[in-house]
Structure 1
């Protein structure tokens, strides 16, 4: 049937060509449904231009290799090169067809642009217009690459299929990602290159092969890249045990040698200076700072549950995307001074410190934070009295106390003092907040998240096996080095409140960069079941908002409303993890 349609469509022009009424022109691969939609011949205009970008594009908090970004309005120009026509079929000598056996041709759908694999392969990472495929679809991602959060990693997939990469980076296998990718679609793979309607299987090197072993007690959200929460037993101590410190990776853990690793610092003048790890350890004074690191998406799942009609985009962290440790290293301000920066008068072009990691992640902080003698920004090579583990930045990372953990770049290899923020996705788009009414944000209109707001959470509720009072425990934290001065607990839906006991933990550093642990006993007569609520107040009298709807944002960042845990009368927390004699959370 398809062959007859094709024959009828082209018979008249072929007839005219034979009689000299029509000049010879090449036949397109795209079959038009009518002359009204036909493109002129010859020339590149016959290739359908990629669609305009009009919708919102989703950013994922895991950072990954082929992450679809929230983005701008882009229009793609037409391709410069047309694909070669499908080759003629060849009959085999071992199984010749008889005249009564019509040749089977691949079915071409009307209105679809087809591309041969040879042409797709030519649009590889070195091409001026890189393409990728997914399934049998073809996508032009040229204008996306400069903003790709995985840096040059995406070029590995260009000229071929995304599917084997997404089998590795499974975080991309989401309906919303698939929908956004369709906006880049320019056509389909020619059926001549398919086997049973599919591409031949392909394999790619596994970049996660060298990732370290992780403690099985971590609560894993995604395995590749690894994103895992600290379990309740790790949230109880003041210093989180290193194996239980939460893991937030946007990509794989890069294989780095301490002996070969170096840090390059670039100043606004263009001057550069490079330091080995041994240089940093031997030439500068060593400091130890106690600091809590918290992901901007910590407690995002609470916001998602509280605003189910809107939901949130990103990893659905509970209350364990936060941990506290002692970090040992040298102060960045001392190293910048040695590199030639005038700390007293750095100049008008010295406004930001940009950090670049070995796996392509990048972020920045205001230079004023670095130059502050009480800012305590470290180039850290130690954690909890031991060398940094691989998941937490070995052999070198920056620690920015009081700021969102996204600025404490791991596997640090370069620092640039600049007049602008880092240009990466993680600085310019991903870690920002907008009003609860904003569905399509203009990313240039909001500042990047730096200092974290006040928050608190219940991490354990225990009932002694012999009965008696219910013990409630948790953490409270505020960014910017603002000390927690009060934690309030309610057992009657917020009608009345009582103050929790703040535990006497003291850390090291110029300010209170660490969390405060707290505990509270529910009296026997108050044990009627229901929701236990907690809220915290810092030294500037900032306190947590009551409701999530007022702070809802599409990315689910800074989810810091009152935290609540439901407990039935006479029992511990349902579904809790751990707990002595009655359950915990």
Structure 2
């Protein structure tokens, strides 16, 4: 009997030793994750448990009672401690993964919750979420209801910008259960990838999102030339790129005047034949250019653009004014509050096109140079830049330059689209998504004056030439509305003194749609310096000093002084 008890004691003792060793291994894993607070408690209990085991091995192995006392009183504590340590060390679960212990719902259960009266539910992978309370604060407005009662995965294939860690983590806060196993992929079955036929892009572009594709020109190449090569011109898309086959004769553009009875329907060849071609050199800039700088003040919503969401090109097409005159639209003060709407071929999942509008006065201005463009830099428009036809609205934010143009309409009211009413607007720094009233702000049209330094880059080390810091040729200055740049100021001492840069390109005071490059060679006597730059336009508008003064929740019109820090080496 005694031998039997000793055998049991040794077996349990060996298992306890293994378990204790396992706990110590778990502790090392936990320690590596920073769980410092558990260290003392664990060591004390593990050490005490190990000492007790040695005592039992030497003295109590011969008696089952002593072993029983240990197993009953101390072994459970070590097991509990092990479980606690392992739980603390466990990585966060993947968003949308199956979570044991949560209620299970079928796809039909989710489908029965499609509005606020029943609650709005969605599914993502294996997760079910009640997003009723989130709808009002959703940045995309009611578009979130597209996925109500079903999987959001098909829509996130289109709005792929949602698939970011912080957004997925936010969604998990609304988790209420699991989807019945086997139903996770029903919403995705037989669904082709809408991005499968995207154009090939130049690898030098800095990609911000792949689906939809958004990429900017590297700052060092941004204004190496006055004209930005088409291949490295920044790309801004909201949806998949349309693929138009002109050989099928399916493409035409519908143009509707003030009187709906007056309309035209022209294909591209007719447009080129009927109207005199017109070319304009103009810079195109995204509303969110330089958003990354504003994001340093406080997080904003939008693509993390640096300085490269802008380019300068020669556009060729026909004047929109000429087409509208043919429709009976006249130069008249009565039309001052009217609008011209544009629809593109790129569509959201509900088949609603990307659509915006501009003031009719801009379209009819003989010096406004609004054109329906079919060429860029002497070549046919590429698919990424709007083939076969896009509108070019010089001096105006890129959001109004609709690509893949399919419809134009003169209207008393501006476009009702999401992009006109609930996006591309700016509010004061205290406004937030939960409380903002989008109707209180006008849609962005003309852009304010801006300038940046593209070489050297922030944080770089550069070599002085003859004791001077070279800031030459690789920057731009630009103002909307056709206002020319009259001066670029640079400071190396936090704004105490300013130097005037040399403007490289010819500058007009009015109707200046292209950017202006500049350069400066400035003496520097320190190893590290902070460079500030600001531009002044022909109306003597200048940039505000800090992004904090113009911060807005959408991160648009980020036009504060551009500031970089550089280290310098002597010649």
- TM superposition score normalised by structure 1: 0.69
Residue 426 of structure 2 corresponds to residue 433 of structure 1 = yes
The Cα of 1:108 is off from its aligned counterpart by 9.0
Q: Shift in Å at residue 344 of structure 1?
A: 4.0
Return closer, same or farther for 1:347/1:493 CA change in 2, 3 Å cut-off: closer
Q: In the alignment, which residue of structure 1 is the partner of 2:237?
A: 249
What pairs up with 1:440-519 in 2 under 5 angstroms? 440-461=435-456, 469-473=468-472, 474-505=475-506, 511-519=511-519
- Which has the higher Rg, Structure 1 or Structure 2? 2
* Native 8 Å contact 1:355 1:363 kept in 2: yes
Q: Specify which structure has the higher proportion of helix.
A: 2
Counterpart of 1:385 in structure 2 is 378
Which has the higher mean CA deviation after the structures are superposed, 130-139 or 384-393? Answer: 130-139
Change (3 A) 1:284 1:450: same
Secondary structure in structure 1 of the residue aligned to 2:547: coil
- 1:149-298 equivalent positions in 2, closer than 5 A: 160-166=150-156, 169-174=159-164, 177=167, 193-195=180-182, 202-203=188-189, 204-231=191-218, 232-258=220-246, 259-271=249-261, 272-298=263-289
1:545-570 C-alpha deviation (Å, 9 max, x unpaired) = 11111111111111111101111131
Q: Is the 8 A contact 1:290 1:327 kept in 2?
A: yes
After superposition, the C-alpha distances for 1:136-193 in whole angstroms (9 at most, x for unaligned) are 326689x989x997999996x676422254356431124664587689x797566xx3
Instruction: Judge conservation of contact 2:429–2:552 (CA < 8 Å) in 1.
Output: yes
Q: 1:557 to 1:347 in 2, by over 3 A?
A: closer
Q: Tell me if structure 2 keeps the 8 A contact 1:376–1:510.
A: no
Helix, strand or coil at the partner of 2:325: helix
Distance 1:116 1:476 in 2: 57
Change (3 A) 1:515 1:465: same
Asked whether the equivalents of residues 370 and 377 of structure 1 are also in contact (C-alpha less than 8 Å), the reply is yes
Distance 1:468-1:261 versus aligned 2 partners, 3 A rule: farther
Do the aligned partners of 1:194 and 1:200 also contact (CA within 8 Å) in 2? no
Describe the superposition over 1:500-537 as per-residue Cα deviations: whole angstroms up to 9, x where unpaired.
00003469x981001100001123x5454211111000
1:467 deviation in Å? 6.4
* 1:272-293, Cα deviation, whole Å (9 max, x unpaired): 3211111110000100001001
Q: Please report how far the alpha carbon of residue 236 of structure 1 lies from its aligned counterpart in structure 2 after TM superposition.
A: 2.0
Q: CA RMSD in A?
A: 3.6
1:137 is paired with a residue of what secondary structure?
A: strand
SS at match of 2:366: coil
CA distance in 2, matches of 1:148, 1:356: 22
Give the match's secondary structure for 1:569: strand
Q: Tell me, what secondary structure is at the counterpart of 1:358?
A: strand
**Residue 339 of structure 1: aligned partner:** 327
Question: Residue 322 of structure 1 aligns with which residue?
Answer: 310
Is contact 1:476–1:515 with CA below 8 Å preserved after alignment? yes
Question: Is residue 390 of structure 2 the alignment partner of residue 400 of structure 1?
Answer: no
Question: TM-score normalised to the size of structure 2?
Answer: 0.71
CA distance in 2, matches of 1:201, 1:344: 53
Task: Tell me if structure 2 keeps the 8 A contact 1:491–1:526.
Answer: no
**Aligned counterparts of 2:406 and 2:322: Cα–Cα separation in 1:** 17
Give, in whole Å, the separation in 1 of the partners of 2:141 and 2:160. 15
Cα distance, 1:148–1:362 mapped onto 2, change above 3 Å = farther
How far, CA to CA, are the matches of 1:279 and 1:217 in structure 2? 37
CA distance, structure 2, for counterparts of residue 291 and residue 424 of structure 1: 26
Give distance in 2, aligned partners of 1:200 and 1:483.
56
SS at match of 1:376: coil
SS in 2 for 1:290: strand
Q: Aligned to 2:455, what secondary structure does the other structure show? A: strand
Unaligned runs of 5+ in 2: 1-98, 347-352
**What is the alpha-carbon distance in structure 2 between the residues aligned to residue 354 and residue 373 of structure 1?**
19
| 1:93 alignment counterpart | none
Instruction: Write the distance in 2 (CA, Å) between the matches of 1:107 and 1:216.
Output: 44
Q: Structure 1 158/411 Cα, relative in aligned 2: closer, same or farther at 3 Å?
A: farther
Whether the 8 Å contact between 1:529 and 1:570 is mirrored in structure 2 is: no
**What is the CA distance between 1:361 and its match in structure 2?**
0.9
CA contact (8 A) 1:236 1:459 kept: no
